Every structure is written in C-alpha cells, then in structure tokens.
Amino acid sequence: MGKIGTQIGEMRHTEAELLSARMETAAASTRKMKVLIACGNTLAILFLLVKGFLIHWEARKRNLAEENLKQANERLERRTAELSETNSELESFAYSVAHDLRAPLRHIAGYSSVLAQDYGPRLDAEGLRCLTTIVDSAGRMGRLVDDLLALSQIGRKALAFQETELGSVVAQVVEELATESAGRDVEWQIGELFSAECDPGLMKQVFANLLSNAVKYTRRQQHAVIQVGLSTQNGERVIFIRDNGAGFEMQYADKLFGVFQRLHKARDFEGTGVGLAIVQRIIRKHGGRIWAEAAVDQGATFFFTVGTPEIKVREQPEPAIHEEEMHVARS
C-alpha cells in the first residue's frame, strides 16, 4: 500500500513539474506572441502610412498632370479657334478682293468694247491691236478673278454629304466634255468605280476639272487615251485618271496644286492655274489626298482618295463660321 502511495506521490510530483514547465513554455509563447503581434501591428501601421503617402503623392502627381493636360487642351483649343478665325478672315479677304476687282474690270472690258464699236473705224491697225489686247487681257483677268472666287467659295462651303455613285458622276462629266473633244480621236476607258459618301456637286467638279485637263493636255495626240479607274494602295481605294498627253516634269510636281501655278506656257495650253487648286481643296475637305505622276510627253496620272465619312462629322460645324464670313465679305 505504502508503495502505491509513494508512486502516486511521485506521479503527482512529476505532473506538477510537467505542469509548471508547460506553464512556463506557454507563458514564454504568449510573450513571444505579444511581441510578434505588436511588431506585426507596428509594421502594418508603417505599411499603411507608407501606402497612404504613396497614394497621396500619386494623386498629387495625377492632379498636376491633369491640370497640365487641361491647360494644354485649352491652349490647343484657343489656337485652333485663332487659326480658324485667321483662315476665315483670309478667305473672306480673298473673296472681297476678287469680288471688288470684278467691277472695275467689267468697266475696262466694257468701255474698251464700246471704244472698239464706236470709234473702231477711226483707229488704224496698231490702235485696233492695242485695243484688242486690252479687251483680251481684261477678259483673262476676269476669268482669273472668277476662278479665284470659285476657289474661295469652295473653302467656305459646308459639305453636303450624300451616298454617290462615282461611276455615274464620271459618265455625266464625260458626256458634258463631248463638245470640248469634238472632232478629235479620244478613247475613253472608264473602269468600275464605287459608291462613296461625298458632296456630289463638288465631287463632280473634281472629275470635271481633272477630265477636262486630260482632254486639254492630250490635244496634240493623234489618238488620245483617257483612263479612269480604281486601284488599291495599302488597303485604301485610290481613283486614278490617266492620259497620254503632254505630261509635266516631276521636279515641279509640288507646284501642281498651287493657286495660279502653271507648268505649261499659256501659248501652248490655256488656263488660269486654279483648276487643280480647286480639286485639291475639295479632296482635302473630304479628308482625302491627291497626288500625280507624270513624265514630259508621256502623259500624266492623277491619283486621289475620297476620304472617310467620319471626316464629315468634323466638317459639319462649319456653317456658323460661314454665316459670319459672308457678312464680312458683303460689307
């Protein structure tokens, strides 16, 4: 019995020892845990602080960038407005000048004609020659002024977009050119074109100017060939108009579309040098491009794209400026 009692006593002792050892371990664990939690919290707080600072810094940077962007936009808008104002001022200036030049010109032409009619018999050959030169020059200047007016009117015109079958526009123009090519051997090769969103009246003018040029510059060919067709360049539809006429030197190609620029002598081929400027202006207004390739006496080819209908959205707000300019032009 005593042995059992001793053993129980030992067991209790051992248990008590184990218990105190475990309690010590637990206490150490708890302390460690507390230190860990404290450290963790401190770290988390530190992390949050850093994060908060970073966010704040980033937001400030963004605000600053936004502010800069806004200012840049405003500057850009101001400049665009200024440019468009200058542009419309220039257009109405060109218009008024051309318009006001017409009246005195009409008087020069008119009174020279009256002089020729009433006093012609009293003038000698040299006198009549001088008078004829005055009448001819006044007439030529009249055509220049009228072409200039047409050019400035196109600049100020708002485009009226409409789905247009370009093939029928070409057919119409070719028919109207019949009188110009009458008595000549002109072979027309008209390929398939397409239907485009464009201003039909202006697009007709493009074809009329380009095709009448083709008729004019093939005048010295026994057999003139004028082609109208479609090609694709970089996935874009390109219309071309090719002739086998006089052509031009490629080194002057950049002058081709300038106002009053001519690559031929008036003696060889008459013209005011406004036709291609009008063509380029119309094409650009449609958001398209135009260029040409040629060689002297080997014909010329004009290429152009009609542009995309998206452009029309951008072009639409023009009438507001248009109205205002009209007023300036008339006053």
Indicate the residue among 71 and 162 with the shorter CB distance to other proteins: 162
Residues facing residue 166 across a β-bridge: none
Fill in the per-residue mask, 47 to 66: x = in contact with other proteins (CB under 8 A), - = not in contact: --------------------
Instruction: Compute the least distance from the CB of residue 165 to other proteins, in Å.
Output: 26
235/172 Cα distance (integer angstroms): 28
Q: Is 99 in the site for other proteins (CB under 8 A)?
A: yes
96/326 Cα distance (integer angstroms): 10
CA 329, distance to chain mean position in Å, is 26
- Give Cβ neighbours of residue 171 (< 8 Å, ≥ 6 apart): 190
Q: Is 326 in the site for other proteins (CB under 8 A)?
A: yes
Indicate the residue among 90 and 296 with the shorter CB distance to other proteins: 90
Indicate the residue among 112 and 209 with the shorter CB distance to other proteins: 112
180/183 Cα distance (integer angstroms): 9
- Give Cβ neighbours of residue 61 (< 8 Å, ≥ 6 apart): none
Q: E strands, the chain, where?
A: 162-165, 186-190, 195-198, 224-233, 236-243, 290-294, 300-304
Out of 1, 103, 313, 320, the only residue in the binding site for other proteins (CB under 8 A) is 103
Q: Is 114 in the site for other proteins (CB under 8 A)?
A: yes
CB-based contact 204:273 (threshold 8 Å): no
Indicate the residue among 202 and 241 with the shorter CB distance to other proteins: 202
Q: Is 111 in the site for other proteins (CB under 8 A)?
A: yes
Instruction: Compute the least distance from the CB of residue 66 to other proteins, in Å.
Output: 43
Instruction: Compute the least distance from the CB of residue 124 to other proteins, in Å.
Output: 22
Indicate the residue among 154 and 214 with the shorter CB distance to other proteins: 154
10/1 Cα distance (integer angstroms): 14
CB-based contact 256:292 (threshold 8 Å): yes
Q: Is 110 in the site for other proteins (CB under 8 A)?
A: yes
Q: Is 96 in the site for other proteins (CB under 8 A)?
A: no
Phi and psi, residue 125, nearest 5°: -55, -45
Stretch that binds other proteins, among 44-52, 62-70, 110-118, 161-169 (CB under 8 A): 110-118
Stretch that binds other proteins, among 25-33, 166-174, 196-204, 323-331 (CB under 8 A): 323-331
Instruction: Compute the least distance from the CB of residue 326 to other proteins, in Å.
Output: 5
Q: Is 154 in the site for other proteins (CB under 8 A)?
A: no
Nearest Cα residue to 304 out of 270, 327, 325, 280: 280
Q: Is 119 in the site for other proteins (CB under 8 A)?
A: no
Q: Is 70 in the site for other proteins (CB under 8 A)?
A: no
Indicate the residue among 109 and 238 with the shorter CB distance to other proteins: 109
Residue written as tokens 């970089």? Answer: 234
Helices (H), 218-318: 275-285, 310-315
Q: Is 201 in the site for other proteins (CB under 8 A)?
A: no
265/267 Cα distance (integer angstroms): 5
Amino acid at 108: I
Footprint of other proteins on this chain (CB under 8 A)? 99, 102-103, 105-107, 109-114, 135, 138-139, 141-143, 145-146, 153, 157, 323, 326, 329-330
